[in-house]
Amino acid sequence: MKLNIIVLLLIFTTFCNAQNKTEYISKSEIENDLKFLDSIFKNQSSYQGLNGFDYQLDFDKFLKQIDGIKITESEFGLFLSKTIGQIGDRHSYIKGYDLPETLYFQISFAPYKNRVLVIDYNKTNKKYAFWNSDFPYLKSINHIPIEEILSKTLPNEKLAPKKSYLLRAVRELRDIETVFSILNIEIPNPLPITLTNEKGIEKQLNVKLATDDNKGYLWDERFHKNNFYFSYKKEKLKDKEIIKQFFSTEDNIGYIQIVDMLGKDDSPLFFEFLNNFMQKAKETDALIIDVRDNGGGTRDLIQELAGYFIHPDSIYVVNTTRQRGKLPLSIELKERLHSRYLYSKDELNIIEQNAVDKFMTSFEPMYDLSTEKFSEYYYYVLNGQKITKDKYHYDKPIYILANERSFSAASVLVSVFKDLPNIKTVGVNTDGSSGNSQRFELPNSGLRGKISTMVSFQKNGKILDGIGTEPDIKIKRSLEQIFIKEDYQLNRLIEIIKTE
């Protein structure tokens, strides 16, 4: 019996040592991985080089710095994240490396008035509140100004729209050991912080950091919305009781909450509810489409809603793209574009081609892309004659409510409908992105990544990535919304609708 115990202990100790063993990557392995990534950037990446950033300079500098130095997988992964984050591709990332994650603040943080609000979560009433009402804002950590810390917290998202970056970076402060590892600073425990108030008066504190069991409850509005993540489980996609909660009418204002840009094949029940609701919505005075915190998916819901929002006799070019790749484009790439309702001019009918010609007379893209590297333009055309079958034209006011976490296909939805008749966009600037992504794995380190292969332009000629779409009506979060006491943005929009 004792022998069995000793053997088990030896196995356990060996396993733990193996788990804790630091993995290093040789310089030759790094060079080969960088050559592999260089080929991907040169031949597939659609955004590399557009903003003037030269990743090769980063590669060369890194290789010089690591001469005679052991490099861990985490150090290499972090370097690549910092590099890829400067390209401007909001869909890109590097994954597969670990950063320290054992020490946390017992408090949480939220962005408010371009500052960092320090908050605490009450598990009983499920609401947030000031951690220190006399000194509600965070000014510094370990005597480092909070602005300096935030600017380096998310290297992979460096070129996100300002509001989008701020929200994500502020939330990450709770995982302070991870943040300090990115900053390459040893973290003390207790950790000195400086709070401040509206008058600029400061308060110094030493805060004891906690382990995983006692870490602060991350501030995230999505956690407090019923069934926000329902689409993550297939059985919930078929649950009528869950799906019907996303559709409601109050004070003769229709409301549709879209938490995920679902595909028609993935959730036919959601589309059934949507069409049934739109039939009932004929008598409403206005309609709200809420895509706040929606991380994207497919464009199927855009197409479905457009069938009601576009007049049968109208036609609009709402999005243009150019695909990176070997020319002429492969059938596979064309099919991926078609799945996004994007077609070349030759693939359109004569009426649609005329609409494209008219659109292009005033279209001024912010980037003049190489005809040797990029395809011809592919167009997203909303043709009322095609998309309104079995539908009707909803000619009342429509409001698209979005925020800084409306991403990918959700940000495309906002951009597509902006400036069309009867439609106004509301909330804050979206985290725009649209890229037709391609995944890869580096052969030596095993790090995984993703890059965009398509440049997507809004109607005004600007790209989506790093810019997003500005709302026609700005409504920011209130303090009460941050504390999860009310949905201020939605309530304020309803007040506006009632007065118009």
Residue 17 token pair: 């040592």
Residue 459: which of 323, 273, 310, 318 has the closest Cα? 318
Q: What is the pLDDT of residues 254-264, one digit of tens each?
A: 999 999 999 99
CATH of the domain at 209: 2.30.42
Residue 344 token pair: 């070349």
Question: What pLDDT score was predicted for residue 11?
Answer: 44
Q: Is residue 195 part of a domain?
A: yes
Q: Is residue 206 part of a domain?
A: yes
Question: What pLDDT score was predicted for residue 23?
Answer: 78
CB atoms within 10 A of CB 22: 8
Residue 282 token pair: 């004929």
Are both 124 and 229 inside the same structural domain?
no
Cα(259)–Cα(291) distance, integer angstroms: 6
Fill in the DSSP letter of residue 464: S
Question: What pLDDT score was predicted for residue 49?
Answer: 95
Domain boundary among 219, 240, 265: 219
Task: Classify the phi-psi angles of 96: left when phi > 0, otherwise alpha if psi is within -120 to 50, otherwise beta.
Answer: left
**Which residues constitute the domain of residue 378?**
222-499
Asked if residues 110 and 128 have their Cβ atoms less than 8 Å apart, the reply is: yes
Are both 48 and 113 inside the same structural domain?
no
Are both 374 and 451 inside the same structural domain?
yes
Beta bridge partners of 215: none
Q: How far apart are the first and last CA of the chain?
A: 81
Query: Which value, in Å, is the radius of gyration of the alpha carbons in the chain?
Result: 25
Q: Is residue 375 part of a domain?
A: yes
Question: What pLDDT score was predicted for residue 68?
Answer: 84
Q: Is residue 6 part of a domain?
A: no
Enter the pTM of the model: 0.93
3-state secondary structure of 13: helix
Q: Is residue 11 part of a domain?
A: no
Q: What are residue 392's phi and psi, to 5 degrees?
A: -135, 165
Domain boundary among 194, 219, 244: 219
Are both 474 and 388 inside the same structural domain?
yes
Cα(457)–Cα(454) distance, integer angstroms: 10
Overall residue count recorded for the chain in this entry: 500
CB atoms within 10 A of CB 348: 17
Are both 79 and 193 inside the same structural domain?
no
3-state secondary structure of 269: helix
Are both 202 and 239 inside the same structural domain?
no
Question: What pLDDT score was predicted for residue 369?
Answer: 97
Cα(444)–Cα(31) distance, integer angstroms: 10
Question: What pLDDT score was predicted for residue 158?
Answer: 93
Question: What pLDDT score was predicted for residue 14?
Answer: 41
Question: What pLDDT score was predicted for residue 423?
Answer: 98
Are both 39 and 130 inside the same structural domain?
no
Cα(142)–Cα(213) distance, integer angstroms: 23
Residue 133 token pair: 């009402």
CB atoms within 10 A of CB 110: 23
Cα(111)–Cα(170) distance, integer angstroms: 6
Q: Is residue 310 part of a domain?
A: yes
Residue 377 token pair: 């333009």
Q: Is residue 16 part of a domain?
A: no
- The full DSSP string for 334-398 is HHHHHTTT-EEGGGS-HHHHHHHHHHHTT---SS---TTTEEEEEEEEEEHHHHTTT-----S-E
How many structural domains are present in the chain? 3
Asked if residues 286 and 399 have their Cβ atoms less than 8 Å apart, the reply is: yes
Q: Is residue 10 part of a domain?
A: no
Over its length of 500 residues, how does the chain's per-residue pLDDT go in tens digits? 444 444 444 444 444 444 445 679 999 999 999 999 999 999 999 999 999 999 999 999 999 999 888 999 999 999 999 999 999 999 999 999 999 999 999 999 999 999 999 999 998 988 999 999 999 999 999 999 999 999 999 999 999 999 999 999 999 999 999 999 999 999 999 999 999 999 999 999 999 999 999 999 999 999 999 999 999 999 999 999 999 999 999 999 999 999 999 999 999 999 999 999 999 999 999 999 999 999 999 999 999 999 999 999 999 999 999 999 999 999 999 999 999 999 999 999 999 999 999 999 999 999 999 999 999 999 999 999 999 999 999 999 999 999 999 999 999 999 999 999 999 999 999 999 998 999 999 999 999 999 999 999 999 999 999 999 999 999 999 999 999 999 999 999 999 999 98
3-state secondary structure of 416: helix
Residue 399: which of 244, 254, 208 has the closest Cα? 254
Domain boundary among 188, 219, 250: 219
Are both 233 and 291 inside the same structural domain?
yes
Q: What are residue 486's phi and psi, to 5 degrees?
A: -160, 160
Are both 237 and 329 inside the same structural domain?
yes
Asked if residues 274 and 388 have their Cβ atoms less than 8 Å apart, the reply is: no
Are both 199 and 337 inside the same structural domain?
no
Are both 325 and 341 inside the same structural domain?
yes
Are both 190 and 245 inside the same structural domain?
no
Cα(151)–Cα(173) distance, integer angstroms: 12
Question: What pLDDT score was predicted for residue 9?
Answer: 44
